[in-house]
Each structure stands twice: as structure tokens, then as C-alpha cells.
Amino acid sequence: MISKEVIFISDFFINEVMGGAEFCNDALMKLLSPDVKIDSLKSDRATVQLVENNLDKFFIVANFFQLAENVKVALAKTTYVILEHDHKYVRSNNPSLYKDFLAPERQIQNKAFYKNALAVLCQSRKHAGVVQRNLLINNIVNLGGNIWNEEQLATLENNMGAKKIIKYGVLQSNNRNKGMPAAIAYCQRKGLDFKLIQGKPFPEFIRDISQVETLVFFPQWLETYNRFSIESRILGCKLITNSLIGATSEDYFKLKGNELLDFIRQNNQNLRQRWIKLINNSEIKYFPPLDLPKITVFCPLYAGEQYIEGFLKSMQEQTIFDQCELIIIDANSPENESQYIEEFMKEHENVIYKRLDHRASVMETENMAIHMATGEFFAQACVDDRHHREYLEIMAKHLHYHEDIDLVYTDCLQTTKPNETVETNSSSGAYYEHSRNEFSPENMIKCLPGPMPMWKLSVHEKCGYFDEGLSYAGDWDIFLRMVASGSKFKKIDIPLGLYYFNSEGLSTSTENQIPRGKEEAEVFFKHKNVFGEANYNKYKNYFSQFIRNENESTT
């Protein structure tokens, strides 16, 4: 028995819109009744007060375009699930626009709302996987199907075995996501004689579909499930389609006719039991959690006592810090950073602290850390910079899912005040200059990876390690070597860190301007083929001055 009453929130219900989502919602409510008391509520009528007056209820949130933001926040006080229909975790509602279904970070929305739910209920294995890769949440449930009511199943059964009098059929729909133009273009290109199948009430629509031998259907976005494709197979239709139908990822999609109809009937009852257990919070079978590759975070340390507490706090607050290792190499600093680090290590076993007995260069310590690292990914983090709490998670996500990318970097806010945070700072929205451009070999005239990149450790097998003979331009040099050896970089399109412009820093002080310029000139001329002829000609005079100055000084 159900101990909780349910409030079902959606933008529209079946009496208003006859769409796939509305059919699914209506079938679910009918399947759960009369054992479950369900009150339907349109999303634009939901208020904070209503939520707070019903904290003991179980909320099912389906389509929620019209749900107010403060109501989403208020729902966190309740037990609620999201019945995911239309990819409302991305602003475009269409993850298929993006390579590998991975949306740019600026496209991600409603992340907290999804994360705070008891469960995010997806309708197919493919749907669940795409939600997971974009949000990196572990509360996903794959329902593995939709619900058809008995009347709908009877209609399907009654139309099985109908004579196929239409050779090819194309679904007529003004909804551009359903891909009618693409299907028509395919038929015309192949010389297929097709007929448009109009949208009608369910019995008439199924009758028309049953008469089609082959349906041509090219959805233009990722269909979370797609009831139409299942109905077509039950009716014995062949299907010419693309890779954007979630239902095809389920093992039972290979069934057809009576076998598939029987499976759907049985699956209705399975889904009913799963929903009842979910509402009772008695059993939830979550989608397998995603394990990102292990990340090694490296911090070179010298004279950083005034920054170390803030840095460690920034690391501790990382959403996946417990899945990483932090390597700190102390180049014989004259200050007392060790007391803070050792105290931090009492609570965190994933920290490795190595103090040297000599002043090693940053490039030397980078190579030490790379050889010590046990992670697959390597993140560079300076002690005086600060990081967004999802810095490691988001960077690793894009590096993991893009197999052709060896390094990711991000926009960084920039401040001249020490120990500010990403959340509270005086940057006024100003960005660190070098990382502002998208990646291309030509744009590597600036050191795009900037102060907080992450890369695959395996890349060193083809490009080597940091040049320990360089004191200032070693990072630019190795990243150029990566590009020269064929590596591609990707820029994350939101700021994930705060760069501290320290006027006394190794790479920023005026005192080091001449030797730093000489090193950068050497790197520039060494890698001139990476930048291309136009950039070489544009900047060669600038870098030549440091070589001339060095020669004049020697003379």
C-alpha cells in the first residue's frame, strides 16, 4: 500500500495537449490508481506556499518549463522525483546538438534541481547515460520504458496483421524536432514513393500506421524514449531512422509483433511496482554511477604561507576531491607552510607532501609530480589561485568524454588582491588574458592553458616532459610540444577559477622581465611552425628584441 499522497506537477495534461509526454504522464497516473491518491497540478500554479503546506506529500515533477525558480528551491524540503521528458537540463533542450551529447557548460541548467531530487527518472538507457554525462549526478533511475494503458494496448493488438498498403510512410508533423523535412529529403534522394501520415486521435493514428510497410523517421533531437517507434514495431512496420531514439538502446527493442506487445504489457506491471516502491522509498535501483578517471592535482610550493590555508580549503571543497590525489612539492620554502599541510593531511589521506632540501625550479617539481602521479589526469594548481568548487569535476568530465582531446583549460577571473575566492572577489568580471581564445595552433601564440589546465598524463609519452632548463616559459614550451605532436585542446566556456595576478610573481614581476622575455623568445622561434607564418611575421620583431638585448648585454 502507498503511505504517501502524490502531487503530480506538469506544464500540461492530456486534456490540453496530446503529446508523447502527456500520454506517458496520463498512463502513469491511471496505472497507479486507485492504490495511489494523485492530485494533478499545473506547474504555473505551483507556489512556495503550496509546497510548504504539503511537505509530507510525494511530488512527481514532469514537464516543468513553467515552474518558478523559487518553487524548485522549495521542493528541496520535500521528497520529489523528476520524470525527465525533454532534456530540461540543457537550455537548448537538445543534447544532440553537441558532440558526444555533451553540452557546453553555459548550456547546463537546473543542475541543483536535478541533483536534489530523490531520483531522476529517465526513460531509456541512452537517455539515462546522456543525463549522467551532462550533470554527473548519481540519482538517476532508468525506467527502461513507457506505459501504455489497456485501451491503447487493445488498439495496437486489434491493428496487428493489417495489410500493408503503403510502401513508405513519413510522419507529418509541424514539430521540427520530429524531422519531417529530413525524412522527405531521404525519400526523395532514394526515389521512394512515400505518403505523409497525419497526426490523429490514437485509434485512427494506429490504424494508419499499421498499413505502412516501412516508416522513415529522422528525429532531430535525442528522443528520450519515443513511443512511436515501439508502436511501429508492434504493428510489424520496418523502421528507417537515425541514432536519436532512446528506445533503441533497450534490449527488448529487437522484439516485434506479439512478443513486443506482451513485453510492454508485462513491463507496465513492472513499472507500476517500481513506482510504488519509489513512492514508499522502499527500494530504488539507481543507474550505475559514473567513475571519472582519477585526477592528480599538483601544487608547486615556495614562499606560499600566506596563501596555503585558502588553497587547501579550495581543494577540500572540490566536489570530487575524495576521488583525487593532491601532490604538494615544497621546493625548500623558507616559510611555515608545512604546519598547515600536515594538519590538513590528518583528515585527508589523499595528500602527498614532499619537501625538498634544495630550491628546485617549478619545471623540476612538475616533472617530479608527473612521475609520482597515480592518476590518469593531471591538474596544475598554483597555491595563490582559487578554484570553483566544481573545477575538477567539470574539467575531468570534458576531458573524459572527448577522446580526441588531450588537454582542457578554462576561463579564469583575475584579481590583484590575494586570498579572494571565486565567489567573492574584486575582479569585476575581468578575465585572465591568455586563456580567453578558443583553441587553435595559431592561437597558441598565447599560452592558452593558463594557470589551471588539466591534461591526460598519457600525452607525455609523445611530447616528453617539462624542460628543466627553462625557468619562466616551461609551461608554454611543453604545451606547444603537445600541439606539435598532434594534441588538441578544449576550452571550457565558463570561468572555473580565480587567477591572482601577483606583481612579484616569477612570471609577472618587472624584475624578471628581461630573462623571461629571452626565454619566451627562444620558445617562440623554436615553435614558429606551430603558430603559422602570419603569427610568426606579426610577432617576430617583438621577440627579437630580447635576443638583441641579450647579445648587446654580452658584448
Both 111 and 251 in one domain: the answer is no
Both 386 and 494 in one domain: the answer is yes
Residue 207, domain CATH: 3.40.50.2000
Q: How confident is the model at residue 1 (pLDDT cuts 50, 70, 90)?
A: low
Give the pLDDT of residue 93.
93
Q: What is the CB-side half-sphere exposure of residue 326 using CA atoms within 13 A? A: 27
- The residue range of the domain holding 183 is 150-255
124 falls within a domain = yes
pLDDT digits (tens, 9 = 90+) for 436-470: 999 999 999 999 999 999 999 999 999 999 999 99
How wide is the angle at C-alpha 427 spanned by C-alphas 421 and 428, nearest 5°?
A: 125
527 falls within a domain = no
Residue where a domain stops, chosen among 225, 255, 285 = 255
Helix (H, G, I), strand (E, B) or coil at 431: strand
Contact in structure between 275 and 121 (CB atoms under 8 Å)? no
- 308: pLDDT strictly greater than 60: yes
Residue 94, domain CATH: 3.40.50
Per the structure, how many domains does the chain have?
Answer: 3
Helix (H, G, I), strand (E, B) or coil at 166: strand
Cell representation of residue 312: 587547501
420 falls within a domain = yes
65: left (phi over 0), alpha (psi -120 to 50) or beta: alpha
pLDDT digits (tens, 9 = 90+) for 178-236: 999 999 999 999 999 999 999 898 999 999 999 999 999 999 999 999 999 999 999 99
Both 364 and 453 in one domain: the answer is yes
From CA 63, how far away is CA 48, in angstroms rounded? 18
Instruction: For 297-359, give the DSSP string.
Output: EEEEESS-HHHHHHHHHHHHT-TTGGGEEEEEEE---SS-HHHHHHHHHTT-TTEEEEE-SS-
Kindly report the backbone phi and psi dihedral angles of residue 246, in degrees, each rounded to the nearest multiple of 5, phi listed first.
-60, -35
Strands 38-42 and 79-83, sheet pairing: unpaired
Residue where a domain stops, chosen among 105, 126, 142 = 142
439 falls within a domain = yes
Both 210 and 123 in one domain: the answer is no
CA of residue 446 relative to chain centroid, distance: 27
Strand partners for 492: 410
273 falls within a domain = no
Helix (H, G, I), strand (E, B) or coil at 454: strand
Residue where a domain stops, chosen among 201, 224, 255 = 255
Cell representation of residue 415: 584579481
Both 380 and 488 in one domain: the answer is yes
Tabulate helix, strand, coil % of the chain (nearest 5): 45, 20, 40
Asked whether the whole model's pTM tops 0.85, one would answer yes
Both 362 and 479 in one domain: the answer is yes
